[in-house]
Structure 1
């Protein structure tokens, strides 16, 4: 096989693979790899002199989409039309969201935490939450929580709702004790009468 035959296929989204047949003969085939699920296939074509467009058409006849240059866009029959296919095929690029807060955001959050978070008690002042800070600074709530937990403020250890429930539970315990005392007094009066 001439070098020119192989050169015409260089840079394509498929490759030429060398196989050893059962009889020991060496064969060359066209092979493609799905860019979504990594499934592979080979063409039964043994004529490696055909042009690249014909190779892609032959893959198409067995249900594959083989891109012109980029193998990441190749799709096997199972991945065509799937969500996986739609997100990896030529979709318009979306702006990348930062994976963490910027230094400016960290300073803004730190300033708000200094003003409204009690480190010793492990809680916000009344009316303040991670959500409120994120809304006021127009940044994700997760960034506020990340800065708080990784900084000197730490994790939230006390919740206003929980404190209110504890206070209410204490009141209810007092009411139950008072009710038990009344029941015991009423029972004593009934027994003595």
Structure 2
């Protein structure tokens, strides 16, 4: 297992620079990678997933590539082939312009220039859920999903898993429903409802007490006005005597 993990780490190191990056709400530093554009030299750091059970093979490399693709990167089989979102957009724009020029040339009876089509991010996102995708999502769910009574571990949801892996949320939901359980377990929902009901009762009780206090204050204020008027009458009577 150690040799397998070492092999994966070597693959990651060959394609990306290994570093430490802040992650999560508390900004805790975790293992990550640094990807450099082979054209303009732009650099971006992203957290790397530490999959349990020794995922092996190049699962982590594929996962990192997918995460970078969702950020707009075009990753290659060598570091020099990586392209940042800006450069990749420029490449696609150039390809689109050439395709348009070729279309116009064909319309005019000219011989169009051969253009190699660029696979867009939309094409990547539209692909079907494959076996390797299932494996990666299952590994992550196995890491962060407690059981069908508890549901996800603290802080984890379908949305967070999807963002962490760089895959559609629908894929995460599908694998979770098939192999694990509900996103939020029924027991937890019942517990939350019970807590909410108890809190509501306390609010109603406190509100009733507050209303009683307000009523008493109004009564006391009214009585104070009468007492004040009575005192004024007495003062006038004494002064007149």
**Does TM-score exceed 0.5, indicating one fold?**
no
Q: TM-score range by the shorter chain?
A: 0.3 to 0.5
The higher radius of gyration belongs to 1
Using the size of structure 2 for normalisation, the TM-score is 0.31
Normalised by the length of structure 1, the TM-score is 0.37
